[in-house]
Amino acid sequence: MGIAAAYTHQRLDPTTFPPQLALALDFMGAGEVVRELCFLAVATRNRGKEGALADEAVTEALYDIIDCEPEAERIYVLGQVDYNNKASMQMLDRFNFRQLTQGVPPPRGDQRLGWWLHIIDPPQ
């Protein structure tokens, strides 16, 4: 059978953000945390079908993120996506992630990845 989908996420230290993110998150207050959705993938055989399993995986990841931050009043969820990764951008759009910065094609070094943001205000 194998693995159908997988994801990872981690808490980020806001003081280590690249400058463009520091500006976007400048308004962070007490009780607010940032987590990066570092990786999310669906097995090839389970992709498509209008992203049914992909959406289930994102939903699961977001609930897991909330569970990992029980004290947080607000959670900023960040993700990085390659400028060419249409499937991922469509998926994040479906969850109302906002694109903060745009990835750009080579040869501009490590700038292929754009940053995306989703804000969660967990029920207290």
Binding site for ligand COA (CB under 6 A): 39-42, 47-48, 51, 54, 81, 85-88, 90-91
Q: Nearest distance from residue 107's CB to ligand COA, in Å?
A: 20
> How far is the C-alpha of 113 from the C-alpha of 124, rounded, in Å?
34
Identify which of residues 72 and 76 has a Cβ nearer to ligand COA in the complex: 76
Q: Nearest distance from residue 47's CB to ligand COA, in Å?
A: 4
> How far is the C-alpha of 53 from the C-alpha of 78, rounded, in Å?
21
Query: Do the Cβ atoms of 39 and 8 come closer than 8 Å?
Result: yes
Identify which of residues 62 and 81 has a Cβ nearer to ligand COA in the complex: 81
Q: Nearest distance from residue 61's CB to ligand COA, in Å?
A: 11
Opening angle at CA 15, ends 57 and 82, nearest 5: 40
